[in-house]
Chains A and B, each alone.
Chain A
Amino acid sequence: MNTGDAKKPKLGVQAATKIYHTASGDLLALDRCSLDVSANEIVSIVGPSGCGKTTLLWSMSGLHSLTSGEIRLDGKAITGPHPDIGIVFQEANLLPWRNLDANIRFPFEIKGEKPDRAWIAHLLNRVGLDGFGGKFPRELSGGMQQRAAIVRALALKPSVLLMDEPFGALDSFTREEMNRLVEEIWLDTKTTIVFITHSIEEAIFLSDRVVVLSARPGRVAKEYRVPFPRPRSLEIMATKEVFDLTNRIKMDIVGERTRPKAPERPSAEIVRIRP
């Protein structure tokens, strides 16, 4: 608002800091992490494990509160779950006692709205789940479950889709197919996507921008633009540019992992611990 004509980010993370209070002491998961995501952009977040990727995503979703800092959606601070944000969880997180139709109806039931049948049918068709509505999650493969979860996340037409390592449990072929599907859906809807992953290849294939988080406490260590045109093909993934980019990101992450650790506790804690 105060910046006037400057292009406002769709999702703006400003100095996000998150401290977990655990039995074994305080844990600084995010330390003044800042990141802007533009409208219609796909941004992937990669980083060494335990670097706070999921914490950051859950904060963006409004499911976690931040210790300090703020996250703004369209310029307004997020204080709780927001109807304009859809989430795809690790593993599909479908409700096993509901069939696919009922799982996809779930968001509407909670909101007390009538399901948008035409839109749901369109999405189901898009992800290739036509005719599977009566199936229960356990009757479906992991890839199909995750496709259903994507349909559920998009059912309320969110303008931002947060995806938390959605394909981590899938085999590499299914994962490639799912990546193409996400790109297709994005070309279709232009939903802003924040994508967390362990797979650098997946991040490069999908993203306009890859953000590397530092080892805990998480901050943005590096950013790479991925300039390849869409739709991207598997051939592009075999080019030298992609190979080089993959290696640079990999070295960044390895560097982060072996970097001498920053103090994990806020300085006040350290003072207290001193004998």
Chain B
Amino acid sequence: MSGGDAIPEFSKSKSGAKSGDGHEVSLTNLSAFASGPGIKSGKEVAAILAVAVIIIGSIELALRLFHVPLYIMPPPSSIAYALFDEFPLIAPHLGYTLVELVSGFTIGAIVGLVLAAVITQFPFAEKIVAPYILLLVTTPMLALVPLLILRFGFGYTPRIIAVALAAGPMVMINAATGFRRVDSAKIALARSYGASTLQIFWKIRAPMALPMILVGLMIGAIFGLLTAVGAEMVGGGFGLGNRLTTYSSMIQMPQFFAVVLILSTLGILIYVLFFLIGKKWASWEA
């Protein structure tokens, strides 16, 4: 507030002097990701860690104090031990899940982006298609997994399809919102230099849509993860979701929670990845 907002126009100070301020403004002004972690000072990080230690410590203490059975809620220390101990056995399953997530998400995202870019060029077609897209967005694609398994068997295929079906519409609906943000003055600017429709798309529409596209990709990836794990729980002998059902059926709760921990970490990594991309490429949006 104090440093970045008022850049005196008439001052002839060197540009370097203010670059720090400007940069900081850009990091915190990323409105599309405004609910995100933002920039934490050392103090804040320390406080967050302290809270984590207190919460985990008191859970550990309470569970041991009241002799809660392991199959109801294992103490954090045993989860940490299981994570460490079982990781070589869990790791391949993490790999399977990642394969499903990455390939399904890539297919869904590409199809979603292309459809969004094309459909927004034709407002009439967009109006016709909109309710069906909404239907795709709101239908939990997990519901289709049993059907997909019937058709495609217990391999990767039904899962990848389910992930693509879950991620695609999310990417599409957000990207379409981005592509619809037409700034006629900026398009007029490009046209005044004789820009072609394609040039206007790549140099004006696409960059303008980028912040919303990133939001769509992030939500799509998270939905993709949920769907991948869900599909693995439904059928097939591999993947992190399959580990969850296996460990819980064997009442191996520390291992079960170790898998949950891996899944939360995956989700956070997805979030952080897109947050960082957004910070780098879409921070102009204030």
| Chain A positions near chain B (C-beta within 8 angstroms) | 58, 61-63, 80-81, 83, 85, 87, 89-91, 93, 95-97, 106-107, 109-111, 128, 131-132, 134-144, 156, 174, 177
Q: Could you tell me the distance in whole angstroms from the C-beta of A64 to the nearest C-beta in chain B?
A: 9
Given contacts A63-B192, A93-B185, contact A136 B207 (CB under 8 A): no
Once the chains are docked, how many angstroms separate the CA of A120 from the CA of B190?
19
From A62, A87, A141, contact of B7 by CB (8 A): A141
B64 touches A (CB below 8 Å): no
B201 touches A (CB below 8 Å): no
Q: Do A141 and B9 have beta carbons less than 8 Å apart?
A: yes
| Binary per-residue interface labels of chain B (3-36) against chain A in the complex, 1 for a CB within 8 Å, 0 otherwise | 0000111101011001000100110010000000
Q: Could you tell me the distance in whole angstroms from the C-beta of A56 to the nearest C-beta in chain B?
A: 15
From B15, B26, B190, B281, contact of A134 by CB (8 A): B15
Residues on A with C-beta less than 8 A from B14 are: 131
Q: Do A89 and B15 have beta carbons less than 8 Å apart?
A: no
B188 touches A (CB below 8 Å): yes
Q: Do A139 and B285 have beta carbons less than 8 Å apart?
A: no
Once the chains are docked, how many angstroms separate the CA of A140 from the CA of B8?
9
Once the chains are docked, how many angstroms separate the CA of A83 from the CA of B191?
11
Q: Do A110 and B193 have beta carbons less than 8 Å apart?
A: yes
Residue in chain B with minimal CB distance to A99: B284
| Chain B positions near chain A (C-beta within 8 angstroms) | 7-10, 12, 14-15, 18, 22, 25-26, 29, 185-186, 188-195, 199, 203-204, 207-208, 210, 281-282, 284-286
Once the chains are docked, how many angstroms separate the CA of A245 from the CA of B52?
74
Given contacts A89-B189, A110-B203, A131-B15, contact A136 B9 (CB under 8 A): no
Q: Closest 7 CB pairs between A and B?
A: A141-B9, A110-B193, A139-B22, A96-B284, A97-B284, A131-B15, A143-B9
Q: Do A136 and B22 have beta carbons less than 8 Å apart?
A: yes
Q: Do B188 and A110 have beta carbons less than 8 Å apart?
A: no
Residues on B with C-beta less than 8 A from A85 are: 192
Given contacts A93-B186, A131-B15, contact A139 B192 (CB under 8 A): no
Q: Do A110 and B204 have beta carbons less than 8 Å apart?
A: no
Q: Could you tell me the distance in whole angstroms from the C-beta of B123 to the nearest C-beta in chain A?
A: 15
Residues on A with C-beta less than 8 A from B284 are: 96-97, 136-138
Residue in chain A with minimal CB distance to B8: A141
Once the chains are docked, how many angstroms separate the CA of A131 from the CA of B22?
15
Residue in chain B with minimal CB distance to A95: B186
Q: Do A81 and B193 have beta carbons less than 8 Å apart?
A: yes
Once the chains are docked, how many angstroms separate the CA of A110 from the CA of B286?
26
Q: A93-B186, A142-B9 are in contact. List 19 more A-B contacts (CB 8 A).
A: A81-B192, A81-B193, A87-B189, A87-B192, A89-B185, A95-B189, A96-B285, A97-B208, A110-B190, A110-B194, A128-B12, A135-B15, A136-B22, A136-B26, A137-B284, A138-B25, A139-B7, A143-B9, A144-B7
A-B pair number, CB within 8 angstroms = 82
Residue in chain B with minimal CB distance to A143: B9
Q: Could you tell me the distance in whole angstroms from the C-beta of B186 to the nearest C-beta in chain A?
A: 6
Residue in chain A with minimal CB distance to B200: A110
Q: Do B194 and A83 have beta carbons less than 8 Å apart?
A: yes
Residue in chain A with minimal CB distance to B190: A110
Residue in chain A with minimal CB distance to B14: A131
Most B-side CB within 10 Å, residue of A58, A110, A128, A137: A110
Given contacts A138-B284, A139-B22, contact A61 B9 (CB under 8 A): no
Once the chains are docked, how many angstroms separate the CA of A135 from the CA of B26?
11
Q: Could you tell me the distance in whole angstroms from the C-beta of A88 to the nearest C-beta in chain B?
A: 10
Residue in chain B with minimal CB distance to A140: B7
From A62, A95, A143, contact of B207 by CB (8 A): A95
Once the chains are docked, how many angstroms separate the CA of A174 from the CA of B8?
11
Residues on B with C-beta less than 8 A from A89 are: 185, 188-189
Residues on A with C-beta less than 8 A from B203 are: 106, 109-110
Report 30 cross-chain contacts, Cβ distance below 8 Å, ordered by A residue: A58-B188, A62-B192, A63-B188, A63-B191, A81-B191, A83-B194, A85-B192, A87-B192, A95-B186, A96-B284, A96-B286, A97-B207, A97-B208, A97-B210, A97-B282, A109-B203, A110-B190, A110-B193, A110-B194, A110-B195, A110-B203, A111-B194, A135-B15, A136-B26, A137-B284, A139-B7, A139-B18, A139-B22, A141-B7, A177-B10
Residue in chain A with minimal CB distance to B193: A110
From B193, B282, B285, contact of A107 by CB (8 A): B193
Once the chains are docked, how many angstroms separate the CA of A156 from the CA of B22?
30
Residue in chain B with minimal CB distance to A96: B284
Residues on B with C-beta less than 8 A from A139 are: 7, 18, 22, 25
Residues on A with C-beta less than 8 A from B185 are: 89-91, 93
Q: Could you tell me the distance in whole angstroms from the C-beta of B214 to the nearest C-beta in chain A?
A: 13
From A81, A131, A143, contact of B194 by CB (8 A): A81
Residues on A with C-beta less than 8 A from B7 are: 139-141, 144
Residues on B with C-beta less than 8 A from A134 are: 15
Residues on A with C-beta less than 8 A from B193 are: 81, 83, 106-107, 110-111, 156
From A61, A97, A110, A136, contact of B199 by CB (8 A): A110
Residues on A with C-beta less than 8 A from B9 are: 141-144, 174
Q: Could you tell me the distance in whole angstroms from the C-beta of B283 to the nearest C-beta in chain A?
A: 9
